[in-house]
Amino acid sequence: MTIATAQACVNIALIKYWGKRDETLHLPTNNSISLTLNELYSTTSVAFEPDLPEDIYWRDGHPRNGEEAFKVTRFLDLVRNQAQIEHRARVITRNTVPTAAGLASSASGFAALAAAASKAAGISTAANDLSCLARRGSGSACRSVFGGFVEWQKGQREDGADSHGVPLSNLNGWELRLVVTQLSSAPKERSSRDGMRDTVNTSPFYAGWLASIDDDLIAARKAIARQDLPALGTTAERNALKMHATMLGAEPPFTYWLPASVAAMRTVWDLRKRGVPAWLTMDAGPNVKVLTTEHHTQAISQALRETPGVEGVVVCTPGPGVRWLDTPLEA
C-alpha cells in the first residue's frame, strides 16, 4: 500500500471561467487566466487499501458524507479506472480556506487530490495529465496544478485532452499581491456550477461576455508579459464585473454579492481615487480580492478591515504548483 501526500494552492482567476461547453468533462467555453496563491492551500493524503469496503473521506478533522464525499468517490473512480485497480481509498484532507465560501477551496482540493491519488495509484503525475485529471473534479482545479500566472487553454478536442493549464509566469521581481477579504464564511446558497449553467442557459448578457473575452485575454497576457499592474488590474476588474453582470440577466436573476461586498468594492474604488494602485476581482461568492503590490498592502488591508461587514483580510503572495510531501496527514 502506498500513501501519497500532496499540497496545492488556491488560484484566483483574473480572467474568469464562466460557462461550459461540456458539463461532464468540465470543458469551458473560454480560456481563463489565474494567479496561484501561496497562503491558501489544501493538503491531501491518499492510500488505496485492499481491505476497505468503501472510500473513507475526512476533511479538516471530521469524516464527511453526502454530496461532498460522493464527489470525491466519483473522482477516485476516474483514477481507479485509469490505474485498473478496484481498491477503495482512505482520503484525508486539510484546507487553510473556508470550504465553499467563495474562496475556491474546490480548486486547491481537487488539484491536491489529483496529485496524491495519481501518485498513490501509480498513474502519470506529469503536470498536463494532472491538470486534465484535476479539471474533472472541478474546472478551475486544472489551474492550481501550476504556480504563478496560469492560462487554462479551453482546448478543441472532444475528449478534453488539450484542455488544461499552461504556466504563463512572469513574476521575476514583480512584488504582486492579492489582498483577500473574508466577508462571510457561511456556505454559499448557489454553487458556481449551478450559477454558471443557469447563466449560460438564460442570460441575454452571456453572449456579450463571450464576445468580449478574447480582447480581455489579449490585454491580460500583454500586461503580464510587461509586468504592467494598472493594465492587468483594469482588465481583471472589468472582466470580473462583466461576469457578475451576466448573473443579473439570468432567469431568475441572482447575485453572489452581499451588502458588505459592495462596501468593500467602494473601499477599493475610493483607495484608487486617492492614488493607491488597487483593483478588485470577485468570484462565485461574496468576497472581494484586491490586486496590488507589496508596498500598498498595509494601506489596503487597513481600509478593508475598517469596512463594515469585513470579517478578515489575508495578504497573499504568488504561490507554487502542486508538490508532494513525505509526511502523511493524520485524520
Point out which residues bind ligand 2P0 (CB under 6 A).
Answer: 13, 16-18, 26, 32, 106, 138-140, 192-193, 283-284
Q: Which is nearer to ligand 2P0, 97 or 271 (CB)?
A: 97
Task: Quote the least distance from Cβ 94 to ligand 2P0, whole Å.
Answer: 19
CB 207 within 8 A of CB 215: no
Q: Which is nearer to ligand 2P0, 88 or 286 (CB)?
A: 286
Give the 3-state secondary structure of 112-163. HHHHHHHHHHCCCCCHHHHHHHHHHHCHHHHHHHCCCEEEECCCCCCCCCCC
Spatial neighbors of 193 by CB under 8 A, at least 6 apart, are: none
Spatial neighbors of 40 by CB under 8 A, at least 6 apart, are: 9, 10, 96, 97, 103, 108, 180, 314, 316
Task: Quote the least distance from Cβ 275 to ligand 2P0, whole Å.
Answer: 29
Chain position whose Cβ is nearest to ligand 2P0: 139
Q: Which is nearer to ligand 2P0, 5 or 239 (CB)?
A: 239
Q: Which is nearer to ligand 2P0, 193 or 323 (CB)?
A: 193
Task: Quote the least distance from Cβ 283 to ligand 2P0, whole Å.
Answer: 4
Q: Which is nearer to ligand 2P0, 5 or 184 (CB)?
A: 184
Please, what's the b/e burial string for 287-296 (b: 16 or more CB within 10 A of its CB; e: otherwise)?
A: bbbbbbeeeb
The values of phi and psi at residue 41, to 5°, are: -150, 170
Taken in order 24, 99, 90, 329, is the CA torsion positive or negative? positive
Question: Which residue is listed with cell 500586461?
Answer: 223
Q: Which is nearer to ligand 2P0, 281 or 301 (CB)?
A: 281
CB 201 within 8 A of CB 29: no
Task: Quote the least distance from Cβ 311 to ligand 2P0, whole Å.
Answer: 21
The values of phi and psi at residue 168, to 5°, are: -115, 0
Task: Quote the least distance from Cβ 106 to ligand 2P0, whole Å.
Answer: 5
Task: Quote the least distance from Cβ 244 to ligand 2P0, whole Å.
Answer: 9
